[in-house]
């Protein structure tokens, strides 16, 4: 029997509209390296990861291959494929490319290219949990009270103990996530994360308690936080 492998699928094909930078946000520098390179480094160094499929805007593939993948010596990147209109479409393109490498039972860790502070420990926990469940979702308990609002009017205040903020990686066996994406496409369902596609097919997605440092760099103030997190890492002697 073949051993179960783990592959990373990194969607990095967004436009970074909310960042409003002059270049796509994943190429902005943090400590002299593109944000995307910081993210790739964590997967490259993790011995449990066999290969990485990177999804970027079609016209940025040559730049990404030269300036991020080759420049960073990321030897585990086995595919760079064009993204789609929405994140879900980009992930689907990555899954199609991974059909060439992954078996049904292999674990796929789907992780935003712009979440550079993911830890090796959370990758390991995600792989372990995804092997024995329909999915593993890294998430943190909501710190604020969250309201449901329709047309400017609060219609509900869900109990905070039940609310978790979804992060990535979101990890699944290849057959589970491929089937969930195929079904969503057929049903014209668009979700904002991958776990929701598995949930709607009655899959049981288990929480992996995450880390508040694992931010998604979305708006300019996130860059200030990211610089502060990096400075703290350097002070604590963490390897870059």
Ligand X SMILES: Nc1ccn([C@@H]2O[C@H](COP(=O)(O)OP(=O)(O)OP(=O)(O)O)[C@@H](O)[C@H]2O)c(=O)n1
Per CB under 6 A, does 11 bind ligand X?
yes
SS3 assignment, position 121: helix
- For 49, the 3-state DSSP assignment is strand
64 binding ligand X? (CB under 6 A): no
β-bridge mates for residue 170, sequence order: 110, 137
Q: Does 90 bind ligand X (CB under 6 A)?
A: yes
What secondary structure letter does DSSP report for 2? P
Interacting residue ranges for ligand LQXTBERG, rule: CB under 6 A:
87, 112, 166-168, 192-193, 216
Q: Please tell me the count of residues contacting ligand X according to CB under 6 A.
A: 20
Rg (CA), the chain: 18
**Spatial distance between the Cα atoms of 98 and 5, rounded to a whole number of angstroms:** 12
Two tokens, residue 210: 């995450």
By rule CB under 6 A, what string of x and - marks binding of each residue 66-85 to ligand X?
-----------------xxx
Decide which of ligand LQXTBERG, ligand X, none touches 17; Cβ closer than 5 to 8 Å per partner kind.
Answer: ligand X
Torsion of CA 83, 88, 89, 95, to 10 degrees: 80
Q: Which does 193 bind (CB under 5 to 8 A by kind): ligand LQXTBERG, ligand X, none?
A: ligand LQXTBERG
Binding mask 98-137 for ligand X (x = CB under 6 A): --------------xxx-----------------------
Closest CA to 194 of 208, 210, 209, 205: 205
Q: Could you list the residues that contact ligand X (CB under 6 A)? A: 11-18, 55, 83-87, 90, 112-114, 216, 218
């Amino acid at each position: 029997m073949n051993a179960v492998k783990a592959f990373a699928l990194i969607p990095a094909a967004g436009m970074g509209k909310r960042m409003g930078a002059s270049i796509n946000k994943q190429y902005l520098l943090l400590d002299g390296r593109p944000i995307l390179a910081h993210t790739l480094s964590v997967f490259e160094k993790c011995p449990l990861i066999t290969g990485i499929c990177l999804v970027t805007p079609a016209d940025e593939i040559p730049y990404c291959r030269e300036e991020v993948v080759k420049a960073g010596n990321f030897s585990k990147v086995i595919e760079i494929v064009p993204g789609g209109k929405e994140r879900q479409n980009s992930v689907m393109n990555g899954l199609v490319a991974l059909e060439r490498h992954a078996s049904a039972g292999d674990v796929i860790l789907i992780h935003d290219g712009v979440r550079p502070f993911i830890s090796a420990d959370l990758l390991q926990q995600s792989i372990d949990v995804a092997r024995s469940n329909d999915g593993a979702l890294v998430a943190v308990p909501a710190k604020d009270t969250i309201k449901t609002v329709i047309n400017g009017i609060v219609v509900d205040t869900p109990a905070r103990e039940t609310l978790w903020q979804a992060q990535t990686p979101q990890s699944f066996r290849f057959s589970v996530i491929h089937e969930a994406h195929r079904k969503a496409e057929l049903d014209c369902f668009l979700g904002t994360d991958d776990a929701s596609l598995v949930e709607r097919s009655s899959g049981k997605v288990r929480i992996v308690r995450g880390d508040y440092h694992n931010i998604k760099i979305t708006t300019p103030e996130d860059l200030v936080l990211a610089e502060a997190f990096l400075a703290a890492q350097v002070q604590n002697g963490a390897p870059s």
